[in-house]
Structure 1
């Protein structure tokens, strides 16, 4: 199968909205086939991180919090934003895990990099796998965070995925990869 790798040309860009957590840009785009999209909206975000954190005794460290966008309380991986002062996505992930859960140390590896939405988002999510993590501190939640920490077995995580209880796709993807690699599907 032959593919055509041609990029769209940006004829002009205009910022519509700029805030620390949301920047919206309107581009005038010209497609390779000559068609034009005069209003194509791009959302600019910093890169994000999330972590599959597993304790020394095999429990998965999850957080549970209310998500206003879908008006539900959800189980999620520990996740957050790559801050400018962080030296790397790994440092961001380690900081977020410690702040949100009090867990740290362990063996860390970047597990996968995925896009929240390659059509409209400029950022990527760096997904990490941290094994042998342990409690090293208390939570250090920001004023805008209200979450609880839960230790789950692999079977509980698998069942939450099957039941559609892990709603955040950027968290479900690395968890399904982990389960597939462990041949637990």
Structure 2
């Protein structure tokens, strides 16, 4: 098996292809670890957050939302993008949970980071478990339409493990929350 001493690729040049509201696309020429050159097409993204809000009764507040690229409604956790590069992920998580669900939380547990498509996108999601939930005022964005449902945590875990829930951030966050809450045990 070949093992490389250095795996880092060095940027030689960059060309912006698209500069959108959420996504930015570039093509870089890079120097590979062996000295050869190649190109890398990639998307840059400010980052986002995902929240697993769990009630005192062990229910998860989940969303059903139409996702245009898939042309269907999917089940996912509350989530959203950072509003700026300087916005703290926890602040974004609190804002998104309130905006999308009308729920606030007293306890926030960091579940770590998740890179949904590291091969071609810089997006990093910071995932949280939210506990101590109480009602606030839902404030959906003007172009946001979703339905909210409370589902027992074990049912959400079962839907993740069976493949019924396919959203990557939701799969990752629910499994991490399940371990944290003792629904799944690490060996």
Q: Common fold, TM-score beyond 0.5? A: yes
1:117-141 alpha-carbon deviations (Å, 9 max, x no partner): 222212311001111212222x211
Root-mean-square deviation (CA), in Å? Answer: 1.9
Q: How far, CA to CA, are the matches of 1:128 and 1:90 in structure 2?
A: 8
5+ long unaligned stretches in structure 2: none
| 3-state SS of paired residue (2:98) | helix
Whether the 8 Å contact between 2:115 and 2:124 is mirrored in structure 1 is yes
| 3-state SS of paired residue (2:7) | coil
Q: How far, CA to CA, are the matches of 1:71 and 1:159 in structure 2?
A: 24
TM-score, normalisation: structure 1: 0.90
Alignment correspondent of 2:129 = 129
> Structure 1 150/183 Cα, relative in aligned 2: closer, same or farther at 3 Å?
closer
Per-residue deviation, 1:85: 8.2
1:117-174 alpha-carbon deviations (Å, 9 max, x no partner): 222212311001111212222x211122110111010121012112312211122112
Alignment correspondent of 2:13 = 12
Whether the 8 Å contact between 1:49 and 1:80 is mirrored in structure 2 is yes
Per-residue deviation, 1:54: 0.7
Alignment correspondent of 1:160 = 159
Per-residue deviation, 1:24: 0.4
Per-residue deviation, 1:66: 1.0
Q: Does 1:24 align with 2:49?
A: no
1:28-48 alpha-carbon deviations (Å, 9 max, x no partner): 1110112321x3111010111
Per-residue deviation, 1:5: 3.4
| 3-state SS of paired residue (2:109) | strand
Alignment correspondent of 1:150 = 149
Alignment of 1:10-159 (within 5 A): 10-37=11-38, 39-84=39-84, 87-137=87-137, 139-159=138-158
Per-residue deviation, 1:25: 0.6
5+ long unaligned stretches in structure 1: none
TM-score, normalisation: structure 2: 0.89
Per-residue deviation, 1:96: 0.2
Q: How far, CA to CA, are the matches of 1:57 and 1:141 in structure 2?
A: 26
How many matched pairs? 183
| 3-state SS of paired residue (1:184) | coil
Q: How far, CA to CA, are the matches of 2:11 and 2:159 in structure 1?
A: 42
